[in-house]
Structure 1
Amino acid sequence: MQQSRVSRNTSTSHKNFLPCKDGYDCQLQYDNATEHNTSYSHPCRWSELCRDMNRDSEHTRHFTHAPHQAILCKYGNENCTKLTNPEHRSLYRHEGLPDYLLPCRHQDQCRDRSVEHLKKYKHPSNFYENTSNLKSNTTSNNNNQFEFNQQACRYGSTCRNQSDSNHCKRFSHPTTTASSQSLNLKSTSSFHACNTSNDMENAYRIGATLALETLSQSDQQAIKNMSADSVIVVPGTYDHIDRVLNSLNIKFTTVNQNEILTYPFRNDQTVYINCSTDFPTDAARRIRQHVENGLHIITTDWALRNVLGIAFSDFVRHNGKSTGDEVVGIQVAEPNHPLVNGFLSASKHAQPQWWLEKYSHPIEIVNRDKVRVLIRSEILGQKYQSDAVLVTFDCGKGNVIHMISHFYLQRSETRDARHQMSAKQYALDIKASSAATDFVVNQGQNLNYAQIQSSSTSAQFIYNQISKRLNSKK
Structure 2
Amino acid sequence: MQQSRVSRNTSTSHKNFLTCKDGHDCQLQYDNATEHNASYSHPCRWSELCRDMNRDSEHARHFTHAPHQAIPCKYGSENCTKLTNPEHRSLYRHEGLPDYLLPCRHQNQCRDRSVEHLKKYKHPSNFYENTSNLKSNTTSNNNNNQFEFNQQVCRYGSTCRNQSDSNHCKRFSHPNTAASPQSLNLKSTSSFHACNTSNDMENAYRIGATLALETLSQSDQQAIKNMSADSVIVVPGTYDHIDRVLNSLNIKFITVNQNEILTYPFRNDQTVYINCSTDFPSDAARRIRQHVENGLHIITTDWALRNVLEVAFSDFVRHNGKSTGDEVVGIQVTEPNHPLVNGFLSASKHAQPQWWLESSSHPIEIVNKDKVRVLIRSEILGQKYQSDAVLVTFDCGKGNVIHMISHFYLQRSETRDARHQMSAKQYALDIKASSAATDFVVNQGQNLNYAQIQSSSTSAQFIYNQISKRLNSKK
What is the rounded CA distance, in whole Å, between the counterparts of 2:33 and 2:351 in structure 1? Answer: 61
What is the rounded CA distance, in whole Å, between the counterparts of 2:193 and 2:317 in structure 1? Answer: 32
Tell me the SS of whatever aligns to 2:199: helix
Deviations 1:297-345, CA, capped at 9 Å, x for gaps: 0000000000001000110000000000000000001111011122211
Deviations 1:31-81, CA, capped at 9 Å, x for gaps: 999999999999999999999999999999999999999999999999999
Q: CA deviation at 1:401?
A: 0.1
Residue pair 1:72, 1:93 contacting (<8 A) in 2 also: yes
The unaligned stretches of length 5 or more in structure 1 are none
Cα 1:92–1:432, aligned 2, differ >3 Å: closer, same or farther?
A: same
What is the rounded CA distance, in whole Å, between the counterparts of 1:418 and 1:34 in structure 2? Answer: 27
Residue pair 2:234, 2:274 contacting (<8 A) in 1 also: yes
Give the share of equivalent positions with the same residue, in percent.
Answer: 96
Cα 1:262–1:36, aligned 2, differ >3 Å: closer, same or farther?
A: farther
Cα 1:219–1:57, aligned 2, differ >3 Å: closer, same or farther?
A: closer
Tell me the SS of whatever aligns to 1:36: helix
Deviations 1:174-224, CA, capped at 9 Å, x for gaps: 999999999999999999999966211110000000000000000000000
What is the rounded CA distance, in whole Å, between the counterparts of 2:190 and 2:352 in structure 1? Answer: 13
What is the rounded CA distance, in whole Å, between the counterparts of 2:387 and 2:60 in structure 1? Answer: 38
Tell me the SS of whatever aligns to 1:13: coil
Cα 1:183–1:100, aligned 2, differ >3 Å: closer, same or farther?
A: closer
Alignment TM-score, normalising by the size of structure 2: 0.62
Cα 1:304–1:112, aligned 2, differ >3 Å: closer, same or farther?
A: closer
Residue pair 2:331, 2:353 contacting (<8 A) in 1 also: yes
Report the more deviating stretch, 159-168 or 394-403.
159-168
Cα 1:79–1:417, aligned 2, differ >3 Å: closer, same or farther?
A: same
Deviations 1:357-392, CA, capped at 9 Å, x for gaps: 000000000000100000000000000000000000
Residue pair 1:193, 1:412 contacting (<8 A) in 2 also: no
Residue pair 1:24, 1:100 contacting (<8 A) in 2 also: yes
What is the rounded CA distance, in whole Å, between the counterparts of 2:271 and 2:53 in structure 1? Answer: 39
Match of 2:352 in 1: 351
Q: Which runs of 4+ in 1 moved over 4 A?
A: 1-197
1:193-208 equivalence runs, <5 A: 198-208=199-209
Report the more deviating stretch, 242-251 or 163-172.
163-172
Cα 1:288–1:167, aligned 2, differ >3 Å: closer, same or farther?
A: farther
Larger Rg over CA atoms: 1
Tell me the SS of whatever aligns to 1:131: helix
Tell me the SS of whatever aligns to 2:136: strand
Report the more deviating stretch, 104-113 or 229-238.
104-113
Match of 1:130 in 2: 130
Cα 1:427–1:92, aligned 2, differ >3 Å: closer, same or farther?
A: same
Residue pair 2:182, 2:250 contacting (<8 A) in 1 also: no
What is the rounded CA distance, in whole Å, between the counterparts of 2:344 and 2:243 in structure 1? Answer: 22
Q: CA deviation at 1:465?
A: 0.1
Report the more deviating stretch, 161-170 or 462-471.
161-170
Cα 1:69–1:436, aligned 2, differ >3 Å: closer, same or farther?
A: farther
Cα 1:144–1:252, aligned 2, differ >3 Å: closer, same or farther?
A: closer
What is the rounded CA distance, in whole Å, between the counterparts of 2:333 and 2:34 in structure 1? Answer: 56
Q: CA deviation at 1:6?
A: 15
Cα 1:378–1:186, aligned 2, differ >3 Å: closer, same or farther?
A: farther
What is the rounded CA distance, in whole Å, between the counterparts of 1:195 and 1:176 in structure 2? Answer: 13
Report the more deviating stretch, 423-432 or 44-53.
44-53
What is the rounded CA distance, in whole Å, between the counterparts of 2:127 and 2:145 in structure 1? Answer: 17
1:285-324 equivalence runs, <5 A: 285-324=286-325
Cα 1:373–1:329, aligned 2, differ >3 Å: closer, same or farther?
A: same
Residue pair 1:329, 1:379 contacting (<8 A) in 2 also: yes
Residue pair 1:192, 1:414 contacting (<8 A) in 2 also: no
Cα 1:61–1:259, aligned 2, differ >3 Å: closer, same or farther?
A: farther
Tell me the SS of whatever aligns to 1:446: coil
Match of 1:47 in 2: 47
Deviations 1:130-154, CA, capped at 9 Å, x for gaps: 9999999999999999999999999
Residue pair 1:133, 1:148 contacting (<8 A) in 2 also: no
Deviations 1:237-269, CA, capped at 9 Å, x for gaps: 010000000000000010000000000000000
Cα 1:179–1:5, aligned 2, differ >3 Å: closer, same or farther?
A: closer
Alignment TM-score, normalising by the size of structure 1: 0.62
How many residues of Structure 1 are paired with residues of Structure 2 in the alignment?
474
CA RMSD of aligned residues (A): 16.5
Cα 1:394–1:440, aligned 2, differ >3 Å: closer, same or farther?
A: same
Residue pair 2:148, 2:171 contacting (<8 A) in 1 also: no
Cα 1:96–1:362, aligned 2, differ >3 Å: closer, same or farther?
A: closer
Tell me the SS of whatever aligns to 2:356: strand
Deviations 1:370-428, CA, capped at 9 Å, x for gaps: 00000000000000000000000000000000000000001111111000000000000
Cα 1:409–1:191, aligned 2, differ >3 Å: closer, same or farther?
A: farther
Residue pair 2:145, 2:194 contacting (<8 A) in 1 also: no
Tell me the SS of whatever aligns to 2:343: helix
Deviations 1:418-439, CA, capped at 9 Å, x for gaps: 0000000000000000000000
Tell me the SS of whatever aligns to 1:390: strand
Residue pair 1:160, 1:357 contacting (<8 A) in 2 also: no
What is the rounded CA distance, in whole Å, between the counterparts of 1:335 and 1:27 in structure 2? Answer: 36
What is the rounded CA distance, in whole Å, between the counterparts of 1:98 and 1:26 in structure 2? Answer: 16
Tell me the SS of whatever aligns to 1:148: coil
Residue pair 2:115, 2:151 contacting (<8 A) in 1 also: no
Matching of residue 32 in structure 1 with residue 32 in structure 2: yes
Residue pair 1:115, 1:144 contacting (<8 A) in 2 also: no
